Structure 1
Amino acid sequence: MLKKVLFFILISISLPILSLKNDLIVQDFFNTIINWSGHYIYIKVNETLPRVVVDVEDPDYGKEHTNFNVTEARNKSLRKAKERTLIHIVRTIENLYLDEDYTILKKVHEDESFRERFNQFLLDEPQNLKSKYVNNQVIVESKITFTGKEGLLNYLSVDYGVEEFPEFMKIPKPSSYTGLILDARHLDAKPALLPKIITDHGLEIYSSFLVDKNFAIAHGMASFQKEPKLAMKDSNKVGINPYYVVALNSTGKNNTVFTIPTDDAIKILATEQTRKNLKKCKVIILLKQ
Structure 2
Amino acid sequence: MRMNKKMVTAAVLGLAFSFGAAYQAPVMAAPAETNVSVQVNVQHEAKSIVTWEKGSNAAIEVWGVGYAPANVPAARGQALARRAAMVDGYRQLAETIEGVQVDSETTMRDLAIESDVVKTNVKALVKGARIIDEHNNEDGSYSVKMTIPMFGESSVASVALPQVKQTAFISDIPKASEAFKPTKEEQKVAVGYTGIIIDASGLGLQCTFSPVVFDTNGRAIYGMLEIDRDYAISHGMVEYSNDLQASAANSRAGANPLVVKAISVKGGGNSVNPVNPVISVEDGDKILFANEKSGMLGKHAVVFVK
Q: TM-score, normalised by structure 2?
A: 0.70
Query: Aligned to 2:283, which of 260, 264, 268?
Result: 264
Match of 2:90 in 1: 86
Match of 1:132 in 2: 135
Gaps of 5+ in 1: 1-28, 52-65
| Alignment partner of 1:215 is 2:219 | no
Match of 1:166 in 2: 174
Deviations 1:212-257 (A, max 9, x none): 222211212222222211110124x211111101111111211112
RMSD over equivalenced CA pairs, Å: 2.4
Q: In the alignment, residue 159 of structure 2 is paired with which amino acid?
A: Y
Distance 1:229 1:189, change over 3 A: same
Matches within 5 A, 1:250-289: 250-252=265-267, 253-270=272-289, 271-272=291-292, 274-275=294-295, 277-287=296-306
Gaps of 5+ in 2: 1-44
| Alignment partner of 1:241 is 2:256 | yes
Match of 2:198 in 1: 182
Match of 1:16 in 2: none
Match of 2:8 in 1: none
Query: Aligned to 2:248, which of 226, 232, 238?
Result: 232
- Distance in 1 of aligned mates of 2:257 and 2:297: 11
Deviations 1:150-179 (A, max 9, x none): 221011223587721113347663613211
Residue aligned with 1:195, SS: coil
- Distance in 2 of aligned mates of 1:117 and 1:178: 36
**Structure 1 residue 259 displacement after superposition:** 1.0
**Aligned partners of 1:102 and 1:254 also within 8 Å:** no
Match of 1:199 in 2: 215
Match of 2:77 in 1: 73
More relative contact order, 1 or 2 (CA 8 Å, 6+ apart) = 1
Number of residue pairs the alignment of both structures matches:
239
Distance 1:44 1:208, change over 3 A: same
Q: In the alignment, residue 231 of structure 2 is paired with which amino acid?
A: F
- Distance in 2 of aligned mates of 1:71 and 1:242: 56
Question: Percent of pairs identical after alignment?
Answer: 21
- Distance in 2 of aligned mates of 1:194 and 1:212: 13
Q: In the alignment, residue 131 of structure 1 is paired with which amino acid?
A: E
Matches within 5 A, 1:56-67: 66-67=71-72
Q: TM-score, normalised by structure 1?
A: 0.74
